[in-house]
Amino acid sequence: MDYLVFRLYGPMASWGEIAVGEARHSAACPSKSALIGLLAAALGIRRDEEQRQQQLTQGYRIAVKQQAAGSLLRDYHTSQVPDSAGKRVYRTRRDELLFGRDRLGTQLSSREYRCDSKQLVALSALDGAPYTLAELQAALLRPRFQLSLGRKACVLAAPLAPELVDAPDLKRAFQQYPQRPILHDAGVESRWLADQQHGYYWEGAREALSTDDDLSGAQLLNRHDQPVSRSRWQFQPRQQWFWQEGES
């Protein structure tokens, strides 16, 4: 089986969950919508290109090895926005501040981020995938648009370093991925990662992760992160497996 494996690391990341009211939560693991958005940005696909976005969503299976979940950070956030009374439609932030300045109010929210999280991502192509894994690798090496870790403010702090890997299962694909140090002192990084418990998240069959490990303790999770429409910001539920190394 061929896989495209790359890493995600940054000082801050935000993997959005369902947003209700003023709370904007972040999961510990990257969402499928965030990863598809990252691929789309690398390829130069815009949010309003619904067909191309859906081809990406339906063309690949995604797996994540969580090397470090990162510490949780909460940000108390305020922004000025006009109320929704009246018939005017504000299409941009400039419109809100220019035409709605007499109606501005303060909106409060609490936003969550993950600090110093490190993840490995593995993609496998399904039948009808719009791009080969080699084409995705080339796009990640030379992205068309700026890439981010969930939010535009969460920038990458290390190269993605995408690699094509041929392996019998996902776990061995992650093991074969060449580890490149992020910190200047590789020994410090090794001790930092050694303190973490590695978790795996993947789509498809439970046995797709490994044929050697006892996966009877794997959990089937529901996550609301399958993109339906980028332009309307709509998502639907998706199932994924979770297994933590050392559990059975």
Is 168 within the bounds of a domain?
yes
Is 163 within the bounds of a domain?
yes
For residue 54, CA distances in Å to 21, 47, 127, 199 come to: 28, 10, 14, 28
pTM for this entry? 0.84
What is the number of structural domains in the chain?
A: 1
Query: What would the pLDDT profile of 64-120 be if each residue is shown by its tens digit?
Result: 999 988 889 988 878 777 877 667 777 787 887 777 777 787 878 788 999 988 999
Q: Give the CATH number, domain containing residue 26.
A: 3.30.70.2660
Q: What are phi and psi of 25, to 5 degrees?
A: -85, 160
Confidence at residue 192, expressed as pLDDT on a 0 to 100 scale: 56
Is 91 within the bounds of a domain?
no
Q: Which residue has the higher pLDDT, 195 or 203?
A: 203
| Across 188-210, average pLDDT | 79
Please, which pLDDT band fits residue 183 given cuts at 50, 70 and 90? low
Is 145 within the bounds of a domain?
yes
Is 84 within the bounds of a domain?
no
Please, which pLDDT band fits residue 8 given cuts at 50, 70 and 90? very high
Is 216 within the bounds of a domain?
yes
Q: Which residue has the higher pLDDT, 247 or 56?
A: 56
Which residues, 6 or more positions from 108, have their beta carbon under 8 angstroms from its beta carbon? Answer: 22, 76, 77, 78
| Across 31-45, average pLDDT | 95
DSSP structure class, residue 148 = B
Residues facing residue 163 across a β-bridge: 5
Strand segments, DSSP code E, in 69-194 are 71-82, 104-125, 163-166
Query: What would the pLDDT profile of 18-31 be if each residue is shown by its tens digit?
Result: 776 677 888 889 99
Which residues, 6 or more positions from 102, have their beta carbon under 8 angstroms from its beta carbon? Answer: none
Is 81 within the bounds of a domain?
no
Residue 185 pLDDT more than 60? no
| Across 179-184, average pLDDT | 73
Q: What are phi and psi of 214, to 5 degrees?
A: -80, 110
Which residue range forms the structural domain that includes residue 58?
Answer: 2-69+115-244
3-state secondary structure of 140: helix
Is 141 within the bounds of a domain?
yes
